[in-house]
């Protein structure tokens, strides 16, 4: 799979295609995966313009914060099939999913638990136990906070 990304500026040394415009990235990709901090600077970053650029074969996947996607614009795009679908692990109004999204067949909603597979939980517990063992042995932990 070819992977591209958008950021304020390109990251040095990444072998990925950089787009200086989110709209241009949306035009290029089939799956727009949103992983950005929330807050005033990213509120409704994924809006009508970005969704239109994604197009009728495109999917948006939000794993960041619910405020990043304009829910009204998303409902419109999904209802009219302006985009193919959406997968949202986060959404505006959490923990209550927007009613307009629940009724749609081309959206999958999860309650902020998308990363909780049996494998990820096993890996997290293993990482914790490894760090605890190293800490109590006087060794540096592998993943300090």
Give the active site residues: 65, 94, 112
**Phi/psi zone of residue 140: left (φ > 0), alpha (ψ -120 to 50 degrees), beta?**
beta
Query: Of 25, 29, 91, whose CA–CA distance to 64 is shortest?
Result: 91
| CA-to-CA dists, residue 101 to 70, 76, 106, angstroms | 12, 10, 9
Please give the helix or strand (H or E) that residue 85 lies within, else none. strand 85-88
Query: Which residue matches tokens 């304020």?
Result: 8
Q: What letter would DSSP give residue 46?
A: B
């Amino acid at each position: 799979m070819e992977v591209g990304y958008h950021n304020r500026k390109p990251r040095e040394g990444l072998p990925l295609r950089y787009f200086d415009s989110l709209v241009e990235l949306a035009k290029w990709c089939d799956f727009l995966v949103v992983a950005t901090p929330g807050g005033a600077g990213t509120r409704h970053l994924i809006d009508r313009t970005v969704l239109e650029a994604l197009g009728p074969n495109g999917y948006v996947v939000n794993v960041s914060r619910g405020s990043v996607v304009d829910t009204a614009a998303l409902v419109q795009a999904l209802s009219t099939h302006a985009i193919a679908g959406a997968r949202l692990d986060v959404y505006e109004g959490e923990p209550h999913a927007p009613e307009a999204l629940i009724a749609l067949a081309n959206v999958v909603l999860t309650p902020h638990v998308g990363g909780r597979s049996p494998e990820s939980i096993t890996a997290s517990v293993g990482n914790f136990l490894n760090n605890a063992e190293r800490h109590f042995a006087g060794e540096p932990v592998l993943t300090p906070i």
